[in-house]
Amino acid sequence: MDEKAVYILKRLYEQDFVSGENLARELDVSRMAINKRIKSLQEMGFSITGCRKRGYQLVDKDIIRIWEIENFVSKSNLFEDFLFFDQINSTNSYIKENQEKLKSATVVYAERQTAGRGRLGRSWIDLEKGIKMSIFLSIDFIDIEKLVPLTLFTGLVVNRVLRTFKVNSFIKWSNDILINGKKVCGILTELLGELDGRGNVIIGIGLNVNATNLPEDILEIATTLKKEMGVSFDRTDIIIGILKEFEKEFENFKTRGFLPFRDEYKSYCANLEREIIINGEQKAFCKDIGQNGELICEQNGKELKIHSGEVTVRW
């Protein structure tokens, strides 16, 4: 979205009615040009109405305040760029397809995904008023072994931020966030290119925030912040919260790995001291989280370490 469109959105967000004349004057463009821009914002899904006497109004203010995120990113020591899309196939796929063009530490956000991807080849259902974003990093420490801890680290960051919003969330290994036993957030980390040395990584975060209607087939297993807490959440504040916390801790993670975060992770981990099912069949008892984030279980009297794959918790 270009600067002028973001400016119009900001004005409409901050003031109840804004006249086309004022917008035209402030942006130094014609009244017709404003008309066109309002139309294209409406086509992008922003609910803007026009009233002859009073001007334009943004009826639904549950939008992403792009200008605030851009402002945060412009001052950030880690993040370099923020790209907002009203609709895209998948933020992870977009990064994959455009990695040569993107600066390292770019955040890609989409209001709607037409082909959102989940872990283990699944799809990620596109709920309205959620957060679907991916962080693109080009880093020099990454090898396949570090991917699990990086994913765990991101889950911990999201969990920490949700807790600042008074949400009683937990982490299901490796990185699902649960509220009352139902999934509210999933993370898909993908490694591109080099396996050792420098590598490009995508960390995709899907968080269900303000939707109230969920498709029947996921009702039992998934939820949203609004459904569990009974109130709407400010999605922009959550996004900035996640990026801030990620930035604050990332250096520590890069130099010291998962270890400094292990105790906190364990204290919110929903799997510990429970029986779990691995890849739909093997049962095991989950005892600990290892130094690199692996799940340490006991099965038939033997210790078993799980580094990846699907784990189901028995409640």
Which spans of this chain sit near ligand BTN (rule: CB under 6 A)? Answer: 90-92, 113, 116-119, 122, 124, 132-134, 176, 186-188, 204-206
- The angle at the Cα of 125, spanning 120 to 128, to the nearest 5 degrees, equals 150
Cα–Cα distance for residue pair 149/132, rounded to 1 Å: 21
Whole-number minimum distance, CB 151 to ligand BTN, in Å? 10
Our CB check for ligand BTN shows the closer of 26 and 128 to be 128
We find the least distance from the C-beta atom of residue 110 to ligand BTN, in angstroms, to be: 7
Q: How far apart are CA 244 and CA 257, in angstroms?
A: 19
Distance of closest approach, residue 216 Cβ to ligand BTN, in angstroms: 19
User: CB atoms < 10 A from the CB of 214, how many?
Assistant: 18
Q: Which is nearer to ligand BTN, 130 or 257 (CB)?
A: 130
Cβ-closest position to ligand BTN? 186
Name the residue nearer to ligand BTN (CB basis): 133 or 313: 133
Q: Bridge partners of 295?
A: 289, 306
Measure CA of the first residue to CA of the last residue in the chain; give whole Å: 45
E strand intervals along 247-309: 275-278, 282-289, 295-299, 302-306
Please identify, using beta-carbon distances, which residue of 58 and 64 lies nearer to ligand BTN.
Answer: 64
Q: Is the Cβ of residue 41 or residue 207 nearer to ligand BTN in the bound state?
A: 207
CB of 55 or CB of 293, closer to ligand BTN = 293
Give dist(CA 267, CA 187) in Å, integer: 19
User: How many whole angstroms separate alpha carbon 6 and alpha carbon 4?
Assistant: 5
- CA separation for the pair 262, 268 (Å, rounded): 10
Computed on alpha carbons and rounded to an integer, the radius of gyration of the chain in Å comes to 21
Least Å distance between CB 10 and ligand BTN?
A: 25
Give least dist CB 154 to ligand BTN, A.
11
For residue 97 the two structure tokens come to: 């397809």
Minimum CB distance to ligand BTN, residue 91 (Å): 4
